[in-house]
Amino acid sequence: MLKSASLKEVRMKVKGLEKKSHFQKFIFEVIQDLFFILDQKGGILEANPRAMEVLGYSWEDLQKMVFLDQVAPEGQGTVSKGFEEMGGGKEIRLRTHIVSQDGERIPVEVIGVPKEELFFMTLRDLRESSKNEEEWERTKKELIEKVRERDQYARELQAMKDAYKEKLKEIERMREDALILSYMDDLTEIYNHRFFIQQLTTEVNRQKRYPTQLSLLMIDIDYFKDYNDTNGHLAGDQILKAISLIIQHGVRQSDFVARYGGEEFCAILVNAGKEEALAIAERIREHVAQTRFPNENAQPNADLTVSIGVASYSPTTSTVTDLIREADNALYRAKRAGRNRVEG
């Protein structure tokens, strides 16, 4: 019985070992990573089917090689150092490239475990992860480029907006300048006839809503044609400029002085009744008469002077036409009375 039991026991052990060996072989074959068993010199003792499939070598070929033969030249130093560490009993983990039989460089993560004077090497194929990393890097670069392009576009758009706003301001300034120029007399650089009519209309309309006082001066240079004929038009232009300045200094800051046409000027006196308007007109007349002009001795009255007509807003003089007509009539009365005088 004892002999029979021992034989049965041996047979069971043998059967168990066969099953264990078969199981280990099964695991060895189904491992999806590349797997090698090496001696301490790097000689290949075992390689799983996956390793032979990826590298493209047969088992017969691999038996003639050492592990370093599979490693790309630039990684051999690192792997050799890893072997030294495993020889000292340490596990290693590193990244390198192996080269297949057809020359493909394959990125791998190497995990080395020393055991019983053998090195168990697992190589994890990183091609897919590298591809994903490369794809991510490419996507990241594309995103960065798109963000850069977007930011650049935003900067360019803002620059265009700023330039557009600046151009609008410039256009507005030009429009304002053009409007001012359209209201200015080119020669004397005071307001022109167009502005005079517009401003007088504004002041008359204001009188209807907020009655105060409003007066108008019509000023004419005496014997100006004689001065022009004697001294020439250029000299006459200088006289027009000089007298326009005298008139501007003779009125108040709130008043409006304009060239009505030819040698005739006008002044809109805001908040000024007839008495104050006559005083302002007289001051202007005196300033002109006291000013010494070139060659004025040749004038018919041996002096360069002005005549001024004054009109004030009233119930019977309540329109632009009324005011201009009344001031004109007063001016001609001054002319007929001998010139160099004020009439109102």
Catalytic residue IDs:
263
User: Of 257, 262, 338, which Cα lies nearest the Cα of 305?
Assistant: 338
Cα-to-chain-centroid distance, residue 285: 58
Whether residue 96 contacts residue 75, with contact meaning beta carbons closer than 8 Å, is answered with yes
Ramachandran area for residue 262 (φ above 0: left; ψ -120 to 50: alpha; else beta): left
Residues 118 and 45: beta-carbon distance below 8 Å: yes
Number of other residues whose CB lies within 10 A of the CB of residue 259: 26
Cα 73 to chain centroid distance, Å, stands at 54
Strand-pairing partners, residue 300, are none
Place of tokens 């039989």: 101
- Contacts of residue 312, defined as CB under 8 A and 6 or more positions apart, other chains included, come to 213, 214, 215, 216, 272, 273, 274, 277, 344
Pairing of strands 105-115, 92-99: antiparallel
Evaluate whether 343 touches 330 at the Cβ level (below 8 Å). yes
- Nearest residue to 97 via CA among 79, 84, 85, 113: 79
